[in-house]
Structure 1
Amino acid sequence: MPVICPASKPLVVPVVTASGTKLIRRATESPVLGIVVCERSGSPPFAEASFIRRLIRDGAKLGLDVFAFSPSTWDEAQDSVLAWTWRGGWIREARPAPSLAYDRAWPRDGAAYERHRTSMNRMRASGRLRLLNSKLPGKAAVLRALLRAPELRRWLPPTALYRGEASLTAWLDRCGGAAFLKPSSGSQGRRVIVLSRDSGMSGIVTVRGRTSSNRSYRLIGQPESEAIARIHRWIGNRTYLMQPALELQGLDGEPFDLRILMQRDGEGRWARTGLAARRGRSGAVTTNLHGGGEARNAQQYLTDLFGEREADSLLAELQDAADAVLIRIEESFGPFAELGLDFGIDRTGQCWFLEANSKPGRASMACAGEAAAAEAAERPLAYARHILLRSPWEGIS
């Protein structure tokens, strides 16, 4: 990609912290984009290190000064952060706090998430930091917003809030004896549950799912009342959604879904970056790559399942659905730079919208082609440059 604007020579300024440690604070005339991360011990010092290295490298080609930082390192008095940059290895140094940031933080557990959320809120409350991408609320709120759009309802599976053991029993009755439960605030397939009645034995069920650490489990021959009571204790006070256990399975009985990555380009316009099929392990309940799934070429995967003509029709419908969902999400929750939209297709060819992700991963885009994989990294940078170099009199895209 050609250089659009030249990188300026950095100005090096010494900074002495309260402890007397001398750090280097760099300021440049180039527009600056911070990448929000959660620091951790060891090497690399945060998740997605190779992706962030690519953002730093590709950002320089666009004339962007890109570095990673944790909001917990923000020094309000100096308005600086401890930044990570790559110069043959990861280097940590003090830098002026960025005004625009791309959130790629992945807290390891609940405690890390709370620390990150507190420090991020403190920094944003100062009015100093704007995020490149808006944040989605829980799945329940997103679904309520989508249900208000009549044109979307044909793609939305029947859904109800879990409201206790009786609600799950009634849902099993309504859905033919099989239910899928997922946390409203969950991600990467963690803590999902599939409960199904045994057709050969009255009052007996099978429970499958994934733990909070994303490990699969399967409990067979369980008395229904005991299983539902156990699920109720496990859910606790979390908000859960109940849906039918849709038959989203491939030729070998493996679960599959489709991820469409939608991103804004360097002029602020939405475009589809790539589409990939995600195939879970046989017997699994999710397709997430973090849970052992793998990505496949969507065109070929759907052709193998439905034939070439039907596959082409389904791909066109998926794009129509993605465009419609995107419009409604932005109307409801503000502007976004990118969204990962997940869809399922059942054995009858019915398309179902499953969920939206405002912090989509990049692993599946490799199966969408080299161009898609490259654009998945480059488009957020180009859009960030569009924002940073835009006249203050121009409106928000």
Structure 2
Amino acid sequence: MPDKLGILTLDPASRQEYFDQMAHESKKYGTDLYSFSPLDLLPGTQKAKGLHFDTASGIWKEEVFQIPEFLYDRCFYGEDQPSKDAKKIVAWLKERKDLTFLGYGLPNKAMLYDRLKEIPEISPYLPETVKADSTGTVLRELNKYLSIILKPANGAHGYAVYSLEKRTGGLLVSTTKNGSLISRNFDRLDQFQAWLNQLLGKHDFLIQARIDNMDRKNRPFDLRIFLQKDSRGEWQEVARGIRTGMENGILTNLSAGASLSTYENWQRETPHFNHVYISQEISDIISTLPAVLEETFQPLFELGIDLLIAGDQSIWILDINSKPGRKMVSLLHPEKTGQMAEAPLAYCRHLQETGSCARANIETV
């Protein structure tokens, strides 16, 4: 009996090139491929309305079908009501024993940090992180470090990330909007507190000391490593790349206009770094972290790990994403796009042949 794999996405109609690549690889695996929104489940039935890839004609066709036994969650949620509704439905689907997800996701950044800081192999690589539960907490951390980052506990793509810096002339606040750096200086503490109160009312934020990750042109940079499981269920590194933001900027996200270069090119351009040491540290992290995440939380299929390489050559885990984008890989290594598209199909086959893993009951995104 062929695998039936469903891709969960909030907008099946605007298909991604990645899904089309998966579809064209599906014939090789004998997999029936579907794409649908969690909002398009039909109440009172075990069915959904969405798209089914017809391997004979090579096109997606609208159909009503049974919810596939295997599901690949590629939903990205916003703050709108449909996103909130879809998130609840996906959480319900993940609790069902008759369905198997390729990956069950990770909790928000706050819970992720709280759990990982207890794990000796990982905690040395985690920047100290504090919940921004009040303006007083933010001011305390700012007085302690002089320069801090505020990031949403549930944020992605660099959305609503703020740099706060204590200066002689007051407090400088910077953020990135539409690819441009916007800064505002507060010379009065009460004005800053009023602004901060309003901000903290919009999102749950985390505070981290700002780590020096500027290159010699004063641009922030980090290392993105893309991992996927293979046909044997073993983690493999697909690609890594250096993301470099704008001069004097905050973000290194490609969605915020960052540039990309290969890790090898960055090594050549930074002979002042001890690359033997750095490469070994990176190797230790990526050989340990995926297994730790699965033992601590739930089964995963793919990961985007963002590492910050500081000026003093210390390595920090900046972010971990269980639904990584593919832009970095497709731009730096277009020859690997086929491998990325095959991976979900190959892993789905592995799950069907071996049976799914036990799951912990942890809220994920």
Query: What's the TM-score once normalised by structure 1's chain length?
Result: 0.82
Kindly indicate whether residue 223 of structure 2 is the aligned counterpart of residue 258 of structure 1: yes
Distance 2:87 2:331 in 1: 33
* DSSP 3-state at the match of 2:76: coil
Pair 123,326 (structure 1): closer, same or farther in 2 beyond 3 Å: closer
Listed as ranges, the matches of 1:336-347 within 5 Å are: 336-347=300-311
Contact 1:280 1:288 in 2 (8 A): yes
Distance 1:88 1:64 in 2: 13
Pair 271,356 (structure 1): closer, same or farther in 2 beyond 3 Å: same
Contact 2:106 2:298 in 1 (8 A): no
Kindly indicate whether residue 3 of structure 2 is the aligned counterpart of residue 31 of structure 1: yes
Listed as ranges, the matches of 1:360-379 within 5 Å are: 360-379=324-343
Partner of 2:363: none
- Structure (1 or 2) with the larger CA radius of gyration: 1
Aligned residues: 355
Partner of 1:193: 162
Partner of 2:106: 136
Partner of 1:292: 257
Partner of 1:349: 313
Kindly indicate whether residue 76 of structure 2 is the aligned counterpart of residue 106 of structure 1: yes
Distance 2:126 2:92 in 1: 37
What is the one-letter code of the residue matched to 1:110?
D
Kindly indicate whether residue 214 of structure 2 is the aligned counterpart of residue 244 of structure 1: no
Contact 2:179 2:256 in 1 (8 A): yes
CA offset at residue 142 of structure 1?
A: 0.9
Partner of 1:12: none
Q: Percent identity?
A: 24
Distance 2:357 2:105 in 1: 20
Unaligned runs of 5+ in 1: 1-28
Partner of 1:184: 153
Pair 108,88 (structure 1): closer, same or farther in 2 beyond 3 Å: farther
Distance 2:337 2:269 in 1: 23
Kindly indicate whether residue 255 of structure 2 is the aligned counterpart of residue 283 of structure 1: no
Pair 250,121 (structure 1): closer, same or farther in 2 beyond 3 Å: same
Larger relative contact order (Cα-Cα within 8 Å, sequence gap ≥ 6): 2
Distance 1:179 1:159 in 2: 10
Contact 2:24 2:58 in 1 (8 A): no
CA offset at residue 306 of structure 1?
A: 3.8
Distance 1:128 1:73 in 2: 19
CA offset at residue 108 of structure 1?
A: 5.0
Pair 173,141 (structure 1): closer, same or farther in 2 beyond 3 Å: same
Distance 2:80 2:131 in 1: 23
Distance 2:221 2:60 in 1: 37
Distance 1:369 1:217 in 2: 29
What is the one-letter code of the residue matched to 2:352?
L
Partner of 1:205: 171
Query: What's the TM-score once normalised by structure 2's chain length?
Result: 0.89
* DSSP 3-state at the match of 2:149: strand
